[in-house]
Structure 1
Amino acid sequence: MVDNRKVGVLGGGQLGRMLIEAANRLNIQVNVLDAASSPAKQISAHDGHIEGSFKDSAAVKTLAQASDVVTVEIEHVDTHMLEEVASEVVVEPSWKTLRTIKDKYAQKHYLKEHGVDVADSIDLEGKGVEGLKEVGTTYGYPYMLKSKTEAYDGRGNFVVKSDADVDAAFEALGKRPLYAERWADFRIELAVMVVKTKDGVLTFPTVETVHEDSICKLTYAPPRNVSESTAQSAQALAKKAIGAFEGKGVFGVEMFLLKDDSLLINEIAPRPHNSGHYTIEACPISQYDAHLRAILDLPISQSNLRLREPSIMLNILGGQTPDSHVQVARKALESPNASVHLYGKGDARPGRKMGHITVTAPTLAAAEHEIHPLIDFVDAKKGKKTTTPSPRSETSLSTKPEPLVAVIMGSDSDLPVLKAGLQILETLHIPFTTRITSAHRTPDWLRTFSKSASATSLRVIIGAAGGAAHLPGMCASWTTLPVIGLPVKATHMDGWDSLVSMTQMPRGEPVATVGINNSTNAALLAVRILGAEDREIRERLRVWMEGNEKEVLRKDGVLLGGGGRLI
């Protein structure tokens, strides 16, 4: 047992279930307050669970008495009882944080007070239909009408597109406490899982979320068509937001990337979140492991939260039949890199979250290729004939693999030298791109290419150059990717000047240099670098090398049988 303290959880849905999966590996007891048949209780057999509602004050008090630390799986809880028991048991995150975040208008107001960028909002409680019309005058159309509390997965939200929608919007949500939000003209929705510990604030990587009918459908890690600097800005904004709240644990931060590349916080969840499911397979520890470590003050570092491999998470939403989720799960079992999670919720209902699938692969393009048939299958179970790209993302699924190797050259006159190496990459099915850039004639373009390379699918760069041969060296000074120098034989000095130039890089700026005009070795070295982390590439290289060995032995046999000469 890593820790003998007992963790009490308000709520026993799928998030609680996955939290228990993480706790079981550490032999930590989790006491759940929820119905007897809740998903979390199905995988945890002990007598510490409490049967009842997580909104019932007496049940919350009973859970607190049976636990050392109390946390939440859902924020719609009785924070007044948590305030009362906080003197007797550790509550993480703080009841103050839960009370602020569960009221979405109060959440936005609090964030704005602490200098965090959010969409403008107006309190509409008690203002009736006329209040909704005033918002249209103030903000224009469309705008978002939202319930302050008890809203999730699009429930409690209404897009007011024109004055004609006002009555319908009030009819749908008028019995709730309401506020309105200025429409955010976003390009992509992003999310960051934040971990607040006793020592500071950490973050998992930035991901892209794609929604359908206001429910998260897909999560891409890393996000598509988002620069590394933007991804880091999203993490910084998420850290700033969560740093403003009291308490420890994992927080899900959803945000909008606007068309001018600025960021706005959309909503915060004071608990593990749908957008963080990918961490189970794609990171050293999951968001659930991180939450336990944070609330129990167990060791955790930023390196625990890194992305080990690109991944895509697909929610399994209930379809037209009660067993639609089971059919999707069986289909996913046919996929070699898919991990299936079912939540134990019984029969499916349209739109209900029944489970999720995560596909990991060496590249995001490879993960997209594998998950595309599963997306189509899920859509078919919901009665959709084809996969329709989400209006919330400008990017559709890729059909062409993203390049892993960039072969750059100063002039297309180098192409004959590169031909053999490019054929090696094609033979071994390594996606590559060829670009012409010059250290001397296009230095700004070379700098831009090199600095942005690590934020793309590229993993290795081959730089071919003759003469002074500054191309690979300059590229290496601007990128963290490995650079392979290929000296090209020029008119003078037979390429020795290029070879010596590439090998004389100053300390701290390495260029792996192969022989003059030896594009074959440049390509094979690139393949070996890729193969260090990709078993499939390594296997293709092994088979190719065996073929070379057999060819050499065949020629030796021919030479021996021919009396010393090849015939």
Structure 2
Amino acid sequence: MDSRKVGVLGGGQLGRMLIESANRLNIQVNILDAAGAPAKQISAHDSHIDGSFKDGEAVRQLAKSCDVVTVEIEHVDTHMLEEISSDVTVEPHWKTLRIIKDKFAQKEYLKGHGVDVAESVDLEGKSEEEFKDVGRKFGYPFMLKSKTEAYDGRGNFVVKREEDVGGARKLFGERPLYAERWADFRMEVAVMVVKTRDGVLTFPTVETVHEDSICKLTYAPPRKVTRETAGKAQELAKKAIAAFEGKGVFGVEMFLLKDETLLVNEIAPRPHNSGHYTIEACPLSQYDAHLRAILDLPIPESGLRLREPAIMLNILGGRAPDSHVKIARQALESPNASIHLYGKGDARPGRKMGHIIVTAPTLSAAEREVQPLIDAVDNQKGKPLGPRETEEKREEPLVAVIMGSDSDLPVLRPCFQILEKLEIPFTTRITSAHRTPDWLREFSKKAGETSVRVIIGAAGGAAHLPGMCASWTTLPVIGVPVKATHLDGVDSLYSMTQMPRGEPVATVGINNSTNAALLAVRILGATDLEVRERLRVWMEGNEKEVLWKDGELLEKGWESYLKMMGK
């Protein structure tokens, strides 16, 4: 498809997954790394180079065989990249890699471009007393970090008290250090950003969960994060990456503070662990996007959307050399799990050996499916199950049933029974269109940011509830006209069915909440095969019941049958 060749400094798992994307487009990727590196294992040609990506001569050799050179790790010799940039395109730009590989320089650069980051202080060449001055300024704890060669928590140290300073300095030796004020965050989030010649695009915001400073889980979409906050994270990530030169995919890790403000924590100038979910959950993966960006190939923005919720679980090496294989074998039992093993040989504790991505129509369904795998990973590490893993989780609702008054509850009982029978999680709220219009508006506007996919609204009399709800949400709304004291519910029926153009309400018969529930289930079943199957089984049960009644009527006759019915 494209005759240009791509050279990659580094042949680990990121390079391996980049090659998987390149192979589908028939684009040749030449890897510079040790013989038998994970990326080389799945690419059969003679243009790979055995050696170190920090060796100048090997980098020059790679440049001669390629049209574009990129990296799968930022800890490279940027002076060598500057040298070869006169002969080959380097993406992202060597200046960007030079800034980002020094984490303190990265923070200072971002601050200079108006990007919010945690306050930091340069400690290179400082005395022990000057280290202690930081504690007096920032308070304890604070983070002590290596400027360079730091990843997956290596190079980070939490200074909890003044007495820790001496030991921390000895731990780092002569490495250049800086201190960072402690960020009291409630969650870590991340955004994969795609920088092209035409602008900056983003994948969705995700939640990342770290353990021992290594990313363990990624939730897409993030849990308990509003659409507004997720959007702000994307805009902050775009602002940060727009400040740098060059093209490609960048991972932007952020702290979401308890007051809902965001700070950029770190930037990776390459595909990133927090973006693995895109392989199964998005039309284009982060590797597809990186390849297209550095080669100036089209990237439709809609290709970066989330097709369905996903959870990524890292398979970290356990105590046994085959620990990762055991996890992968267990994952084979999970119908929605995609397994990625990296070809690294025997496991070592904490080493990234692979990852698993579980996709499902809802995040709660993905959580249920991934939990046994999380437990298995924890068990290999000898970690006891905590409260989050052992207590039964309440499922996020897919259907919201709202009513204008609690007097509508008896009419809605059949609706609730159907939803429970078909295992559809739902929530019920009282939101009067006339007595609590502000609450109805707030509920309706925010419903689309939650797990809810369908709204059922029951009301009698003027029955404006479902119509007003429909005007404030993009979710489908089903109206249940309730028979009130006067007019036998016909007034409610007319009110719901006579909605103006542009504001649809799917209205069922008077007091027929059963059909409202079944219509909601059919809407959910359009994108969830499990829901559709449960509905099919239920419908078959109805058919069997009717056929049984037909047989009884034929055998007993109408008079005996009526007596059996008590009529």
Whole-Å separation in 2 of the counterparts to 1:36 and 1:151: 24
Q: Deviation per CA, 1:73-99, whole angstroms, max 9, x where unpaired?
A: 000111111111112111111111111
Correspondence 1:432-511 to 2 at 5 A:
432-511=426-505
Whole-Å separation in 2 of the counterparts to 1:145 and 1:447: 47
Q: Is the 8 A contact 1:39 1:345 kept in 2?
A: yes
Whole-Å separation in 2 of the counterparts to 1:321 and 1:566: 72
Whole-Å separation in 2 of the counterparts to 1:458 and 1:76: 44
Correspondence 1:320-359 to 2 at 5 A:
320-359=319-358
Correspondence 1:411-430 to 2 at 5 A:
411-430=405-424
Q: Deviation per CA, 1:433-458, whole angstroms, max 9, x where unpaired?
A: 11111111111211121111111111
Q: Is the 8 A contact 1:319 1:383 kept in 2?
A: no
1:482 maps to amino acid = P
Distance 1:398 1:279, change over 3 A: farther
Q: Is the 8 A contact 1:103 1:149 kept in 2?
A: yes
1:28 maps to amino acid = I
Residue 244 (structure 2) aligns with: 245
Distance 1:515 1:177, change over 3 A: same
Residue 393 (structure 1) aligns with: none
Whole-Å separation in 1 of the counterparts to 2:463 and 2:517: 18
Correspondence 1:272-421 to 2 at 5 A:
272-387=271-386, 399-421=393-415
Structure 2 length as normaliser, TM-score?
Answer: 0.97
Whole-Å separation in 2 of the counterparts to 1:542 and 1:205: 34
1:331 maps to amino acid = Q
1:31 maps to amino acid = N
Computed over aligned residues only, the root mean square deviation of the Cα atoms, in angstroms, reads 1.5
1:369 maps to amino acid = R
How far 1:565 moved relative to its partner? 6.1
Residue 78 (structure 1) aligns with: 77
Q: Is the 8 A contact 1:379 1:387 kept in 2?
A: no
1:141 matches 2:140: yes
Distance 1:492 1:168, change over 3 A: same
Q: Is the 8 A contact 1:438 1:471 kept in 2?
A: yes
Correspondence 1:46-65 to 2 at 5 A:
46-65=45-64
How far 1:389 moved relative to its partner? 5.4
How far 1:556 moved relative to its partner? 3.1
Q: Deviation per CA, 1:275-319, whole angstroms, max 9, x where unpaired?
A: 011111111111111111111111112210111111111111111
Whole-Å separation in 2 of the counterparts to 1:71 and 1:504: 60
Residue 540 (structure 1) aligns with: 534
Whole-Å separation in 2 of the counterparts to 1:13 and 1:519: 56
2:547 maps to amino acid = L
Residue 546 (structure 2) aligns with: 552
Residue 21 (structure 2) aligns with: 22
How far 1:398 moved relative to its partner? 6.3
Residue 564 (structure 2) aligns with: none
Residue 112 (structure 2) aligns with: 113
Residue 201 (structure 1) aligns with: 200
Q: Is the 8 A contact 1:368 1:398 kept in 2?
A: no
Distance 1:188 1:25, change over 3 A: same
Whole-Å separation in 2 of the counterparts to 1:388 and 1:221: 22
How far 1:385 moved relative to its partner? 2.5
Whole-Å separation in 2 of the counterparts to 1:519 and 1:287: 45
2:443 maps to amino acid = F
Q: Deviation per CA, 1:395-441, whole angstroms, max 9, x where unpaired?
A: x9861221110111011111111111211111111111111111111
2:217 maps to amino acid = L
Residue 35 (structure 2) aligns with: 36
Residue 517 (structure 1) aligns with: 511
How far 1:174 moved relative to its partner? 3.5
Whole-Å separation in 1 of the counterparts to 2:203 and 2:289: 10
Where 2:536 maps in the other structure, the secondary structure is helix
Whole-Å separation in 2 of the counterparts to 1:550 and 1:140: 71
Q: Is the 8 A contact 1:145 1:178 kept in 2?
A: yes
How far 1:175 moved relative to its partner? 1.2
Q: How many aligned positions are there?
A: 561
Distance 1:389 1:211, change over 3 A: farther
Q: Deviation per CA, 1:32-67, whole angstroms, max 9, x where unpaired?
A: 000011110011110110111111111111111101
Whole-Å separation in 2 of the counterparts to 1:313 and 1:94: 30
1:429 maps to amino acid = E
1:458 maps to amino acid = V
Whole-Å separation in 1 of the counterparts to 2:67 and 2:560: 81
Distance 1:371 1:193, change over 3 A: same
Where 1:194 maps in the other structure, the secondary structure is strand
Q: Is the 8 A contact 1:439 1:446 kept in 2?
A: yes
Distance 1:302 1:487, change over 3 A: same
Whole-Å separation in 1 of the counterparts to 2:417 and 2:323: 46
Distance 1:533 1:398, change over 3 A: farther
Where 1:163 maps in the other structure, the secondary structure is coil
1:79 maps to amino acid = T
How far 1:206 moved relative to its partner? 0.6
Distance 1:362 1:397, change over 3 A: farther
1:457 maps to amino acid = S
Where 2:254 maps in the other structure, the secondary structure is strand
How far 1:371 moved relative to its partner? 1.2
1:277 maps to amino acid = H
Distance 1:283 1:525, change over 3 A: same
Residue 565 (structure 2) aligns with: none
2:51 maps to amino acid = G
2:482 maps to amino acid = V
Distance 1:348 1:455, change over 3 A: same
Q: Identity percentage over the alignment?
A: 79
1:538 maps to amino acid = R
Where 2:428 maps in the other structure, the secondary structure is strand
2:515 maps to amino acid = N
Q: Is the 8 A contact 1:191 1:207 kept in 2?
A: yes
Residue 269 (structure 1) aligns with: 268
Where 1:54 maps in the other structure, the secondary structure is coil
Residue 225 (structure 1) aligns with: 224
Q: Is the 8 A contact 1:315 1:355 kept in 2?
A: yes
| Structure 1 unmatched ranges of 5 or more | 391-395
Q: Is the 8 A contact 1:190 1:255 kept in 2?
A: yes
Whole-Å separation in 2 of the counterparts to 1:435 and 1:268: 43
1:98 maps to amino acid = L
| Structure 2 unmatched ranges of 5 or more | 562-567
Whole-Å separation in 1 of the counterparts to 2:253 and 2:528: 32
How far 1:168 moved relative to its partner? 0.9
